[in-house]
Amino acid sequence: MKKILFLVIAIIFLVFIFIDSIEQPQNYYNFSDKKNYFSVNNFWNVISNIPFIIIGLIGIYENKNKKLIHDNFKTAPIYSVFFLGVFLTGFGSSWFHLNPNDSTLVWDRLPMTIGFMALTTGLLSEYLYRDLQKKIFYPLLFVGFISVLYWYYTEQQGRGDLRLYVLVQFLPLLLIPLIALTHQSRFTHNNILIGVILFYLLAKLTEHYDQAIHQALGFISGHSIKHLLAAAATYLVLIMLKNRKPAV
């Protein structure tokens, strides 16, 4: 099964290498809700990031006090880094939405890749074998950083390319369900991951239909809802880590 898994990863990488560059959509920064309140630009798209900050702080605190169940090595503090990424995403995304442009978007995407890569490492090592986290944690964090910096560099050269960043976001969404179906985790309550993935996919959907949702609801846009749904996904990770036990 591991050979099949590595084959799938290799095929996906090859596909992304040989397909054409994925450019940033021209209307990416044209968010539907541009209302300003209390001298805050794009108020609701900024304020809707507060749950990330709260959940990140709770996760960091709970993990420091050994309330979260995992078997991270001290040299690979996966879930501390995951919740740090969630915390920083709240600030990075707020900074971006105050003044949407390529430079501020870097600070939105960098902390998100920290969260993606940390959670991916944690789950893969729990389903496959514990020592895996030592081998892939820092390399995956590095790949996450490079994916954002590579996009920004190519954007500044007038030939923006999101391929690596897209891979960093969506490869875990393919790998984790595949591994969960074929391997046994060392911990209970992993059915909560269904909710995590569902909330994240709904977040991407509401992001795509930002304007249509805003027109339909009137008081909130799809992008603001996206932030709330993505934060809910991170909250489910926290719930999973607090309530699970080592599998017998």
Share of the chain above pLDDT 70, in %: 93
Residue 169 pLDDT exceeds 90: no
**pLDDT value at position 183?**
86
pLDDT tens per residue across span 172-184: 888 888 888 888 9
For the question of whether the overall pTM of this predicted structure is more than 0.75, the answer is yes
Instruction: Give the pLDDT confidence of 71-120 residue by residue, as tens digits.
Output: 999 999 999 999 999 999 999 999 999 999 999 999 999 999 999 999 99
Q: What domains sit in the chain, N to C, each tagged with a CATH number?
A: 40-243 (1.20.1070)
The model's confidence at residue 170, banded by pLDDT at 50, 70 and 90, is confident
Identify the residue with better confidence: 173 or 239.
Answer: 239
Return the higher-pLDDT residue of 206 and 28: 206
Q: What is the mean pLDDT of residues 233-246?
A: 97
Judge contact between 90 and 56, C-beta under 8 A.
yes
Residue 140: is its pLDDT beyond 70? yes
Take residue 138 and report the two structure tokens written for it: 């820092």
Segment 165-176 mean pLDDT: 86
Cα separation, 97 vs 76, whole angstroms: 32
Q: Which residue has the higher pLDDT, 5 or 237?
A: 237
Average pLDDT on 200-226 reads: 95
What is the band of 147 on the pLDDT scale with cuts at 50, 70, 90?
Answer: very high
Among 1-10, 82-91, 155-164, 226-235, the least confident range: 1-10
Residue 53: both structure tokens together:
């900050």
Write the burial class of residue 15 (CB in 10 Å: 0-12 exposed, 13-18 middle, 19+ buried): exposed
Query: What is the average per-residue pLDDT within 203-208?
Result: 96
Which residues lie closer than 8 Å to 27 by C-beta, 6 or more apart? none
Lookup result for tokens 């074998």: 129
Q: How confident is the model at residue 25 (pLDDT cuts 50, 70, 90)?
A: confident
Q: What DSSP letter does each residue of the chain carry, written as one string?
A: -HHHHHHHHHHHHHHHHHSPP-PPPTTTT--S----BTTBTTHHHHHTTHHHHHHHHHHHHHHHTT-S-----TT--HHHHHHHHHHHHHHHHHHHHHS-SHHHHHHHHHHHHHHHHHHHHHHHHHHS-TTHHHHHHHHHHHHHHHHHHHHHHHHHTT----HHHHHHHHHHHHHHHHHHHHS--SBS-TTHHHHHHHHHHHHHHHHHTHHHHHHHHSSS-HHHHHHHHHHHHHHHHHHHHHH--B--
The predicted structure's pLDDT at residue 123? 95
Contact 227, 45 (CB under 8 A): yes
**Residue 5: predicted pLDDT:** 61
Of the listed ranges 50-54, 161-165, 225-229, the least confidently predicted one is 161-165
Statement: residue 222 has pLDDT above 80:
yes
Is residue 18's pLDDT more than 80? Answer: no
